[in-house]
Chain A
Amino acid sequence: MSDPRPVFRHIGRPVPRQEDDRLLRGYGAYVDDLPEPPGTLYLGCVRSPVAHARILSIDLAEALQMPGVVAGYTAADLTPSIRTMEPDRPKPGYKATFRDVMPTDRVRYVGDTVAVLLAEDPYLLEDALETVFVDYEALPVVVSIEDAIAEGAAAVHDDIEGNIPFAGEYKTEGFDAVFASAHLVVKDTFRSARMAGVSLEPRGVMASYDKGKGALTLWSSTQIPHLLQASLGELLDMAESRIRVVAPDVGGGFGIKAHVYPEEVIAAALARRHGGTVKWIGDRQDDFVTSTHARDYRYDVEMALAQDGTILAVRNRLHVNIGAYACFPFGSSAEAGGGAIYLPGAYKFAHYAYATHSVFTNTAPVGVYRGVAAPIAHFAQEGLIDRAAAALGIDKLEMRRKNLVQPEDLPFTNAAGITSDTQSHAACLEQALAAIDYDGFRRDHPRGEIRDGKRYGIGIACITEHTGQGASRYRTRGLHRVPGFEGATVRMTADGRLVAAVSQSTQGQGHLTVFAQIIAEHLGIDPSAISVEEGDTATTPFGSGTFASRAAVVAGGAVFRASEALAAKLKRIAGHHLEVAPEDVELVDGEARVAGSDMTMSFRELAAIAHSLEARPLPDGEEYGLESRAFYDPPNVSIANAVHAAVVSVDVGTGRVAVERYAVAHDCGRMINPMLVAGQVHGGVAQGIGEALMEAVVYDEDGQLLTTQLLDYLLPSTCDIPDITMAHIESETDATLGGFKGAGEGGVIGAVPAVAGAVNDALGETGAFVNQLPLRPETILALLRPVAD
């Protein structure tokens, strides 16, 4: 463990991003912006229009005659040369799961790929795709959780009985007795919508095969270049050393792009087969149909309380609709496993039981999306606290204050067995209440008041965010395809400049800037002078990728460690030549300086010595070069926390909910760059407001997707998101290098329960509570109707 560094010069400053300049000038290079090599072929996928069917025949004859079409393949042609993906290996609770990138026998959702075409031009490709004829024999379809788990339901995969590939159970000792003796039990069924992540850039991939070298380069809009490289090697039976994956600029990911997709594998396979470049760019409809969906949970939750409002025990029965296939690399259990352990969150009840299940259906695969199951876990928990407060006649805030984990409880192991050394719920609560002016709101809006046709409500949500999970955490969770650690190389070039390569890939989080700040801190040079690279497997060390709020903690730790080692070496070389002990050397403003003297050596001189480019030698035993590589595997998990406060208005005539004001008090440990932390929270809150109020992917009972464009799937716009007031608390933790915790997901985790709670508050004396998202006008009107009648 390194010494805490009490005074920071670069960490903690709101440094504007080094990423911005080229993006602002329109010089970003997203995958579809990269120049195509001559002869590039465009890949088009023939998607199943039916949710569950046997494939009887596929006729490509007419398509192959169309202008510009070069080749066409059915699943029967291609699939035998590509290994089956195996996201889950069997173990207790987990069944083995499989997915062919193109199914040969039957399709399992609208969007499965049954054939592909290659053409010289994207317009001609579209023309040809329309001429492909596929004959299907319909099979029974299961769409909802209830359909899929009903007795006698059709099996989505023949070897998975009951459509449940993963189930888990847990109960604290003595749970039943405590639950049975409680004064009050409140319960409800909480449902989220199915959602789409909708990165503004849809997915896309370009694969080039060099026949001479037998080497593949694949540019993909992905969050996991290293894991993608490994899977391509496995699925195509190629050595990883022959595969280079590059994530260029990526236009948002949010977890959706943290999966390996069939199009990536197919493009690579066809580039190899044709010995050239194959490019596939998804459009928005492809994105809605084939990119992983998110959420789609049913939480049946019961909360047992004492008369004074103390929460005694919680029982959580959870089902997750994971669609037609388990996703790679997270497998079938990421959502169901997460939803089970996120629930105790900020509260210190001692008894908890869960039974959790993943359920296959004939819908698009559901994968990880910002917040994973946590927003709805907190929606359920905060919702039950509101119900209990009403039933017991206790103030809602009082209920929360009574049950929150307090500073004196730390370090705290919650009822799901998650330990954390720092949490600041009570402090965050007071700051959030002040920021939103809770008392002022209560004064101005008497309960039950309708002003200008609107009711007003205020909602408070106290949440935790599981960030920076390490290798040990992924192993306990059974996610054996997720490594958990990250790596970084920090190097001084022979001219004395600093470069770094990190195992992450960025989708806009500002990694390059924050990693430069960490390096700057150790090397004493301005962050703007440090260039950081990510996303290219040829130049960056192996690591897991960007998801689950891990970059700052895990890759940040690797950068921290590599920078420390490089700084130490520079001090040793400088100390040797300045004839002082290395401890007496400090690195400031691009030079090594003997503390308290005017003796200095510039980085240029030190670099020249280390690269043997001048007369002065390296000290004995010192290696040439100035390069330091480090890997970091953090402890299990780092718990960040926040309190969100939302004020909403509910139009009693139209049922429309509007978020009027919003405040967040947020604690992600030591912040590297508070401006970027706020940006992460803002974006998450907007996604949470979308999740709470408008976003929903809809299938009909035949498994037809009804929301295939942005006209059908509503995203929040500038008029739906108010300004957001932020307060930061930085709890000191020495559990992670640098004391960093993640900040990527807290925004969405807090916004869903805060907005839902505000609507509960607005419904006030009607006694209605929301339990189903999104809270669209028709839902709200139905809740208000009994009052009106």
Chain B
Amino acid sequence: MTGDKIDISVTVNGRRYRRAVEPRRLLADFLRYDLRLTGTHVGCAHGVCGACTVSIDGRTARSCLTFAVQVDGAELETVEGLAPDAELSAIQAAFHRNHALQCGFCTPGFLMAARQLLAETLTPTEEEVRTALSGNLCRCTGYVNIVRAVMSAAEDLRANREASHV
């Protein structure tokens, strides 16, 4: 049933929002309908497909299993925040080059999950990439090019890091 609304304040992609939300409002709905950040998708609402993956205080989370009131005071990042400038991020660019997206519905979730992995290591094995992405479902690509894209993004990021060290 409906409940009284609760005020929350949250930072999403660097911008601060204050809103009043019902306690039962899902974070996914809050992002999509209240903030109109519709890049975060809902494929199952049961925590299985990963399409709704966002980053909350630096850790990936399922926005379909999180209530908006739970992120009061948190820093969030969604797919819309990955490429603030004109240039695509290294992971996005690798997805483009490697044809790692078809319908694109799962893509925001994969990008967020891949970013978390590459924040932890820039030298993942193919096995590690597969494990890290095993909580995200894609029905179009067969994952082949997604795995290749993440491997290739890791390589680019390594090369960048080395370049910036010289």
One of A195-203, A394-402, A727-735, A769-777 contacting the partner: A195-203
CA distance A250 to B139 in the complex (A): 13
Whether B104 and A508, one on each chain, are in contact in the complex, defined by CB atoms closer than 8 angstroms, is yes
Q: Of B44, B108, B148, which one neighbours A26 at CB under 8 angstroms?
A: B108
Q: Which of A25, A249, A679 contacts B83 (CB 8 A)?
A: A25
CB 8 Å contact bits of B72-84 with A (1 = contact, 0 = none)? 0000001110110
Query: Chain B: which residue is nearest A16 at the CB level?
Result: B96
Within 8 A of B (CB), among A267-303: 283-284
A685 close to chain B: CB less than 8 A:
yes
User: With a CB–CB cut-off of 8 A, which chain B residues contact A684?
Assistant: 142
Nearest B residue to A724 via CB reads B144
Q: Which parts of A651-684 form the interface with B (CB within 8 Å)?
A: 675-676, 678-679, 682-684
A28 & B139 in contact (Cβ 8 Å cutoff)? no
Which residues of B from 69 to 110 have beta carbons under 8 Å from A?
78-80, 82-83, 88, 92, 95-97, 99, 101-108
Judge whether A190 is part of the interface by a CB distance below 8 angstroms.
no
Question: Cα distance A127–B36 when bound, in Å?
Answer: 24
Name which of B97, B133, B142 has the most chain A CB atoms within 10 A of its CB: B142
Mostly helix, strand, loop or mixed at chain A's interface?
loop
Q: Which of B45-53, B55-63, B156-164 lies at the interface?
A: B45-53
Tell me if A24 and B101 are in contact (CB < 8 A): yes
A723-B144 contact given A200-B51, A683-B139, A715-B139, CB 8 Å threshold: yes
Judge whether A97 is part of the interface by a CB distance below 8 angstroms.
no
B163 to chain A, nearest CB (A): 23
Given A21-B96, A252-B105, are A284 and B46 neighbors across the interface (CB < 8 Å)?
yes
Complex partner residue of B88 from A24, A27, A251, CB under 8 angstroms: A24
* Residues of the B chain whose Cβ atoms lie less than 8 Å from the Cβ of A124: 2
Q: Are B44 and A201 in contact (CB under 8 A)?
A: no
Q: Which residues of A contact B111 (CB under 8 A)?
A: 24
Digit string of B120-148 for contact with A (CB within 8 Å is 1, else 0)? 00000010011101111111111111111
How far is B102's CA from A676's CA once the two chains are assembled, in angstroms? 9
Name the B residues within 8 Å of A683 (CB-CB): 102, 139-142
Chain A residues with CB below 8 A from B46, complex form: 284, 709-711
Do the beta carbons of A33 and B2 come within 8 Å of each other? no
State whether A721 and B143 are in contact (beta carbons under 8 Å apart), knowing that A33-B38, A709-B46 are contacts in the complex: yes
Closest-CB distance, B72 to chain A (whole angstroms): 19
Contact count A vs B, C-beta below 8 Å: 181
Residues in B neighbouring A17, C-beta threshold 8 A: 96, 99
**Cβ-defined contact, A252 with B103, below 8 A:** yes
Question: What DSSP secondary structure best describes chain B's contact surface?
Answer: loop
CB distance from B63 to the nearest CB of A (A): 13
For the complex, what is the distance from the CA of A24 to the CA of B93, rounded to whole Å? 9
Asked, given contacts A123-B2, A284-B46, whether A23 binds B142 with beta carbons under 8 Å apart, the answer is no
- Alpha-carbon separation in the docked complex, A674 to B41 (Å): 29
Bound-complex Cα distance A70 to B164 (A): 61
B32 on the A face (CB < 8 A):
yes
Q: Verify B44–A251 contact, CB threshold 8 A.
A: no
Give the Cβ gap from B35 to chain A, nearest Cβ, in Å.
Answer: 12
Q: How far is the CA of A785 from the CA of B145 in the complex (A)?
A: 38
Confirm or deny: A30 has a beta carbon within 8 angstroms of a beta carbon on chain B: yes
Which of A198, A510, A721 has most B Cβ within 10 Å? A721
Distance from A507 Cβ to chain B, minimum over Cβ atoms (Å)? 5
Interface residue A759 (Cβ < 8 Å from any Cβ of B): no
CA distance A156 to B2 in the complex (A): 41
Chain A proximity of B129: nearest CB distance (Å)? 8
Q: Which residue of A lies closest to B95 (CB)?
A: A24
Residues of B with C-beta under 8 A to A595: none
In the complex, chain A residues whose CB is within 8 Å of the CB of B146: 718
A410 within 8 A of B: no
Which residues of chain B come closer than 8 Å to A723, judged between CB atoms?
126, 144, 147-148
CA distance A27 to B103 in the complex (A): 13
Are the CB atoms of B142 and A201 closer together than 8 Å?
no
B139 touches A127 (CB 8 A): no
Distance between Cα atoms of A20 and B104 in the complex (Å): 8
- Give CA–CA (A510, B104) in the complex, Å: 11
Q: Is the CB of B144 within 8 A of A687?
A: no
Assess the A709–B79 pair: CB atoms within 8 A. Answer: no
A717 at the interface (CB under 8 A from B): yes
A507 to B141, CA, bound (A): 12
Distance between A199 CB and nearest chain B CB, rounded to angstroms: 6
Task: Report Cα–Cα, A19/B36, bound state, in Å.
Answer: 21
Q: Is B24 an interface position by the 8 A CB rule?
A: yes
Q: A25, A283, A711: which has the most chain B beta carbons within 10 Å?
A: A25
Residue of A24, A25, A510, A685 near B102 (CB, 8 A) is A510
What CA separation (Å) do A31 and B133 show in the bound complex?
26
Known: A283-B42, A682-B143. 18 other contacts (CB 8 A): A24-B101, A29-B38, A33-B38, A124-B2, A201-B105, A202-B43, A252-B102, A252-B103, A283-B45, A284-B43, A284-B45, A682-B145, A709-B44, A717-B134, A717-B135, A718-B130, A719-B130, A723-B148
22 intermolecular pairs with C-beta atoms under 8 Å apart? A24-B82, A24-B96, A30-B41, A30-B105, A33-B38, A123-B25, A200-B51, A252-B140, A254-B139, A284-B43, A284-B46, A507-B102, A508-B104, A676-B99, A683-B142, A687-B139, A709-B48, A717-B134, A718-B130, A718-B134, A721-B142, A723-B147
- Closest 7 pairs (CB-CB, A-B): A26-B39, A251-B105, A508-B103, A23-B104, A686-B142, A508-B102, A26-B79
- A residues near B (Cβ < 8 Å) are 16-17, 19-21, 23-30, 32-33, 35, 67, 123-124, 127, 198-202, 249-252, 254, 283-284, 507-510, 675-676, 678-679, 682-687, 709-711, 715, 717-719, 721, 723-724, 747
